[in-house]
Amino acid sequence: MRVALLACAAVFILALGPVPEASSATQGGATPAKAQAASSSGKPVDYEFFKTRVQPVFLHKRKGHARCVSCHVGRTAFVLASLSPGATTWNEEQSRVNYRAASQFVVPGDPTASRLLMHPLSAQAGGDPYHSGGQHWYSQSEPEWQTLAEWVRTGAPDASNAAQVLDFDFYRTRVEPIFLNPRKGGGAAAGGVACFACHTILATPMRLQPLTAGSKTWTEEQSRRNFETVTRLIVPGQPLKSRLLVHPLATDAGGSPAHTGGKFWISQNDPEFLTLSEWITRRR
């Protein structure tokens, strides 16, 4: 587990490190994180709630830590608009910029899959293992964390019919074992570390259930919860429009540039890619 934590932390160092100046949020550009909200076409999170209750969290001074705004107006993946000279909060235009930036790091309706909430949360409380700004919250019951969670719940995930049309038994017996398969090569997190090692620890749209101590696979109840999560990343019948398939696929084979865990499949003929393709193109 220590190896997995180190590998996953390395992924987040890469994912949340400096970004090119051309992608500054204040210029209206998208950051390379291109993140989580883009994966959901469901109900978006509420803007007014964000403006009046979430933004003040970024301005709050915490003992032993700088304010979020002190670092996140600079070269980070999550870029807030700079405050106007003499201002103590953001104007309407700047708030809209901040809303777009923050929304990239949440999964509507799912606080514990949302990086904005889990990245500054203590690992002991279920948060990510690394945040260069330190841990700001030590419990999910802290008022600020609860405010952000309430905001995320104002949205809802994509209400697509993937979970209804895809075969759970095929998923559990053929797809889920792929997440347990150790990887060789393919990026910082892939040196012998299986998908589940990061995807049960880090806040990502594919936040899998943690394995029970001593277990080598998931219980049926856990598998059903994983199934609901994984199907959000699927467009039934269309492998190359499904994030689950295109993120770990090499870009020259038709994959997406995104996937901080590296590329696992160099071609669409890879047996794992073919298994996933079979799953999403068949019907129950």
* DSSP-assigned states of every residue in 65-102: S--HHHHHTSSSSS-PPPPPTT-SS--HHHHHHHHHHH
Both 10 and 146 in one domain: the answer is yes
Residue at which a domain ends, from 103, 122, 152: 152
Both 145 and 214 in one domain: the answer is no
Quick one: pLDDT at residue 276? 96
Residue at which a domain ends, from 123, 152, 181: 152
Mean pLDDT of 137-166: 87
Both 103 and 217 in one domain: the answer is no
Both 263 and 173 in one domain: the answer is yes
2-11, 53-62, 154-163, 261-270: segment of lowest average pLDDT = 2-11
| pLDDT of 216 over the 80 cut | yes
Both 53 and 32 in one domain: the answer is yes
7-16, 20-29, 109-118, 275-284: segment of lowest average pLDDT = 20-29
| pLDDT of 19 over the 70 cut | no
Could you tell me the CA-to-CA distances from 130 to 13, 40, 65, 119 in Å, in that order? Answer: 8, 25, 15, 7
pLDDT-derived band at 57, boundaries 50, 70, 90? very high
* DSSP-assigned states of every residue in 182-216: PP-SSSTT-SS--HHHHHTTS--SS-PPPPPTT-S
| pLDDT of 85 over the 60 cut | yes
Proportion of the chain above pLDDT 70, given as a percent: 77
| Mean pLDDT value across the chain | 80
**What three-state secondary structure class fits 249?**
strand
Top mean-pLDDT range of 10-14, 93-97, 163-167, 234-238? 93-97
Domain membership of residue 36 (yes or no) is: yes
Q: Are 25 and 101 in contact (CB under 8 A)?
A: yes
Both 58 and 133 in one domain: the answer is yes
187 or 89, greater pLDDT? 89
C-alpha–C-alpha distance, residues 272 and 181, integer Å: 10
Quick one: pLDDT at residue 160? 59
Domain membership of residue 113 (yes or no) is: yes
Domain membership of residue 244 (yes or no) is: yes
Q: What is the pLDDT of residues 196-211, one digit of tens each?
A: 988 888 878 888 999 9
Domain membership of residue 168 (yes or no) is: yes
Structural domain range at position 200 = 162-281
30 φ/ψ angles, rounded to the nearest 5 degrees: -90, 145
C-alpha–C-alpha distance, residues 118 and 115, integer Å: 5
Domain membership of residue 185 (yes or no) is: yes
Residue at which a domain ends, from 117, 132, 152: 152
What is the identity of the amino acid at 119?
Answer: H
Both 216 and 146 in one domain: the answer is no
| pLDDT of 227 over the 90 cut | yes
The count of structural domains within the chain is 2
- CA torsion, ordered 147, 207, 102, 150, to nearest 10 deg: -20
Both 69 and 191 in one domain: the answer is no
Quick one: pLDDT at residue 65? 66
Please list the helix, strand and coil fractions of the chain in percent, rounded to the nearest 5, in that order.
45, 0, 55
Both 39 and 144 in one domain: the answer is yes
Both 197 and 148 in one domain: the answer is no
Mean pLDDT of 14-41: 37
- DSSP designation for 153: T
Q: Residue 149: which H helix or E strand, with range?
A: helix 143-152
Domain membership of residue 157 (yes or no) is: no
pLDDT-derived band at 3, boundaries 50, 70, 90? very low
Both 75 and 166 in one domain: the answer is no
Both 173 and 36 in one domain: the answer is no
Quick one: pLDDT at residue 72? 78
81 or 16, greater pLDDT? 81
